[in-house]
Structure 1
Amino acid sequence: MTKNKSWLHKAGEIAIEILIIVFAISFSLFLERQREESNDQKLEKDFYSGLTIDLKQDREQLQSDRKFFVNMSHAFDYFKRMSDTTKLNADSINVNYNYLISSSDFVSNSAHYQALKSTGKLSIIENKELLNQIISLYETKIPILISSTRFFNDKKEHGIIAYAESHMRMGKNTNITQVMSDPIAKNYLLTGGYITQIINNYDDALKAVDTVLAKTTKEED
């Protein structure tokens, strides 16, 4: 009987020790989770702050680039209307020709998004709707915009720009009306139709930026 009591006593002590160990491990894991959650919350807040700055810079550039392409569209229309009998205006020619031969490429300020993505920590963003909108902006909207502008710039460089530079004289004795009235030039100028889609892509990107920016600003508060 004494032996049984002794065994039960030892078993009780072992059970208590096991419970203490289990509690210690559980409590340690709890504290670690709390620490990780706290770190993730700080990282999320810092991400929103940085992203807001990036988005404001992107918005400014998007608006500027969009205006540039609107003016470029006007330049294409200007030269498409040109004929041998067009009365020349030096200022109008210079302004429109500069837009015709110039290019613009959007460069996104995506440093904070790319940094968080590279660490595999995008999941720390608790607002999943916002997360999906951020991903859509940087993985869909902006890439489509950049792809469309690069495609158009390449077509323009090897089309109307190359043709104009090899056939046109500028200055007092310019032959610009003859060059731009040529059927080959008119055909190249038809590529200006791409600009409408590019402007639409800028509008889509701007709308997405405004949507995300409104929410990241709110999340910062």
Structure 2
Amino acid sequence: MAELEVAKSTKKIFTTAKSKEHSLWEKIKKIGMEVAIIVFAVSLSIGLHSWSEARHEQNEVKVFLEGLRNDLQKDRQEMLGDIEAYENQKKAFNYLSQIPKGTQADSDSINAHSKYFYSFTGYGGNTGRYEGFKSSGKIGYIENDSLLNNILDLYEEKIPILTISTDFYKNQKIRFAEYITENTVDYPEGNLTQVLASDPVKNRSNIYLSSVNQIIDNYRKCVSKIDIIIEQIDKEHPKKH
């Protein structure tokens, strides 16, 4: 529509300029009027285009945030489960670290804690939606600076720190499992209780306890940030019931 108005006004300008029926002053007034129409039409067209583009961008943000909210709610449940698992691992290695020197590990206690000695727990890395939106260059479409900063803080700082801590813990636990395997004979009736009560195991258990406390703290920081982000998304895009 704007293009049509511009074309019509442009044609009128040329026609008026060539006309011999109007005085110079009349030509100036008519041409000025048509130029004003052109400027208005172009400005209106640009404004409508910008509005339409901004509306489209914010619709993309809405879809992203609603999907992100679902992802974060699932991540939150996963992380709470991981925290519980690490609390249990903490208890297991706390038992090993406190076995009195010169004694053996208690068989019943070992059976109660054994599944936590070799299991691995870590954040599943459910970051696909965020990474896709960021790589497309659309993350800047989020107009709420506080919400944007919290999302970036979670995915660019807190989750990477959590991943580093759990990866370190996993590698140390592999070394722990290797030591037990290399020094245990006639499993399960052999010297396992002696190996688990040995100084190397007790020392490593103390290291694991320190790591576990840090990991739990990193998980809780992520959960806290997730709660803030979900609350902010709920304010902007309430769930439909």
Q: TM-score, normalised by structure 1?
A: 0.89
Report the CA distance shift for 1:87/1:32 in structure 2 as closer, same or farther (over 3 A). Answer: closer
Q: Is the 8 A contact 1:156 1:191 kept in 2?
A: no
Q: Is the 8 A contact 1:80 1:180 kept in 2?
A: no
- Greater C-alpha radius of gyration: 2
**Where does structure 1 lack aligned partners over 5 or more consecutive residues?**
none
Match of 1:100 in 2: 117
Which among 138, 145, 148 is matched to residue 165 of structure 2? 148
The answer on 1:181 being equivalent to 2:197 is yes
Report the number of matched residues: 216
Q: For 2:124, what is the secondary structure of its paired residue? A: coil
**Where does structure 2 lack aligned partners over 5 or more consecutive residues?**
1-19
Match of 1:168 in 2: 184
Using CA pairs below 8 Å that are at least 6 residues apart, which structure has the higher relative contact order? Answer: 1
- CA drift at 1:213: 1.1
Q: For 2:103, what is the secondary structure of its paired residue? A: coil
Q: What amino acid is the match of 2:190?
A: T
Separation in 2 of the partners of 1:109 and 1:141? 14
Which among 87, 106, 109 is matched to residue 88 of structure 1? 106
- CA drift at 1:82: 2.9
Q: Is the 8 A contact 1:57 1:109 kept in 2?
A: no
Which among 64, 77, 81 is matched to residue 94 of structure 2? 77
Q: Larger deviation: 92-101 or 132-141?
A: 92-101
Q: Is the 8 A contact 1:75 1:99 kept in 2?
A: yes
Match of 1:62 in 2: 79
- CA drift at 1:86: 4.2
The answer on 1:219 being equivalent to 2:236 is yes
Separation in 2 of the partners of 1:190 and 1:89? 20
Q: Larger deviation: 186-195 or 69-78?
A: 186-195
Q: What amino acid is the match of 1:124?
A: Y
Report the CA distance shift for 1:68/1:79 in structure 2 as closer, same or farther (over 3 A). Answer: same
- CA drift at 1:191: 1.7
Q: TM-score, normalised by structure 2?
A: 0.82
- CA drift at 1:118: 1.4
Q: What amino acid is the match of 2:106?
A: L
Q: For 1:77, what is the secondary structure of its paired residue? A: helix
Percent of pairs with identical residues? 34
Q: Is the 8 A contact 1:80 1:189 kept in 2?
A: yes
Q: What amino acid is the match of 1:184?
A: P
